[in-house]
Structure 1
Amino acid sequence: MKVKEISLIAIFVSLMAIGSQIIIPLGPIPFTMQLVVVFLSGFLLKPKNSLIVQIIYLLLGVFGVPVFSGFSGGMIHIIGPSGGFLISFPFSAFVISLCKFSKKLSDLFSGFFGLIIVYFIGWCWLRIYTTNFIQAFIVGILPFIFFDVIKLFISIYIKNLLLSNLKVFSNS
């Protein structure tokens, strides 16, 4: 692995930790900016590196480093109601990054595909804490769809801005 790749991984892990601290309380699952960084890591990094970013982020949090929302850490976040959403991040970023190699797939499509992965895993996990899948959808997905689509568009804008102005992301 090159120094450039290691540096980008470290930067994106840091951005995940920062994004998780930008919180808007919206029910049992906090509204944070983590998803923007998940999208960006998928858009800008190689599949393996986008996966590594998300795994390192989760491991830091599991081992108690306060990288999760509210400057918190610990295994409780993974086994709690929002754990499925957190666990989905590596899969989402990896798939988004894989999609970018297909010239036929747009950023919007790959971002939506990544978002569906986040929703599906998070929804199934949240179901454990609710009475049924409908309640899990109403509590854990429905209030976030609008905001998450906005985050996707913000991510695409930032990605295009970075690619047009920074050479660090060429061939990454």
Structure 2
Amino acid sequence: MRDQKLKQLIINALFAVIIAILAQVTIPIGPIPLTGQTFAIGLAATILGARNATISVAVYLVLGAIGVPVFAGMSAGLGILFGPTGGFLIGFLFNAYVTGFLIEKTNFSMAYAIFANIIGSFITLLFGALWLKIGGDLSWSAAFTAGVIPFIIPGILKAVFAALIGISIRKRLVTAKLV
């Protein structure tokens, strides 16, 4: 039992590192870059489920908040959480939980994993746009234009790939009794 808990903590930490690594894959398209973070969040939720994926995201956010350069562009600090991308970062928590929860309810089926990852991607975009509206003092139209529209197609593509790769990896990990 104790070994199982330790193993799960290590896996959760590993996914926090995966999120940090994929955060460095960025395409600047304005004040909010296109990053690999949402792909990593979807992968974590698909493989680990709601609870452990959310823990992984929380570890990632805490690391960044205390100054470890894990956010996009090797950035860190509370200023990033309260800056233009802060809503997206906080949205990752809800993305991980909801995506994992929905997938768990269907015993990790491929079609539903794709659906759940797309829903999760839109949750992240919703938090990002809401933060841009409130924190950036933008109109709803400007917040939607800056924080949602450029990310819809890439978000759907990342969600599909996260589901496809995640379910495949999860099946192998279940067979090896690692999750």
More helix by share: 2
Task: Give the CA deviation at 1:100.
Answer: 1.4
Residue 23 in structure 1 maps to residue 30 in structure 2: no
Which AA in structure 2 matches 1:136?
A
Secondary structure at 1:2 match in 2? helix
5 Å-filtered alignment, 1:1-172, equals: 2-103=5-106, 106-128=112-134, 129-167=136-174, 172=179
Runs of 4+ off more than 6 Å: none
- More displaced 10-residue stretch of structure 1: 53-62 or 104-113: 104-113
1: CA distance between counterparts of 2:49 and 2:153? 28
Secondary structure at 2:72 match in 1? coil
Task: Give the CA deviation at 1:164.
Answer: 4.0
2: CA distance between counterparts of 1:149 and 1:78? 24
Task: Give the CA deviation at 1:163.
Answer: 2.9
- TM-score of the superposed pair, with normalisation by structure 1: 0.92
User: Is contact 1:99-1:110 (8 Å) kept?
Assistant: yes
User: Is contact 1:163-1:169 (8 Å) kept?
Assistant: no
- More displaced 10-residue stretch of structure 1: 58-67 or 109-118: 109-118
User: Is contact 2:47-2:167 (8 Å) kept?
Assistant: no
2: CA distance between counterparts of 1:80 and 1:170? 41
Mind listing any 5+ residue stretches in structure 2 that lack a counterpart?
none
- More displaced 10-residue stretch of structure 1: 3-12 or 25-34: 3-12
Which AA in structure 2 matches 1:16?
I
2: CA distance between counterparts of 1:24 and 1:10? 26
2: CA distance between counterparts of 1:108 and 1:157? 7
**In the TM superposition, what whole-angstrom CA distance separates every residue of 1:28-79 from its partner, at most 9, and x where no partner exists?**
1011100011101111113221111111111110111000111110111110
- TM-score of the superposed pair, with normalisation by structure 2: 0.89
Percent of aligned pairs with the same amino acid = 34
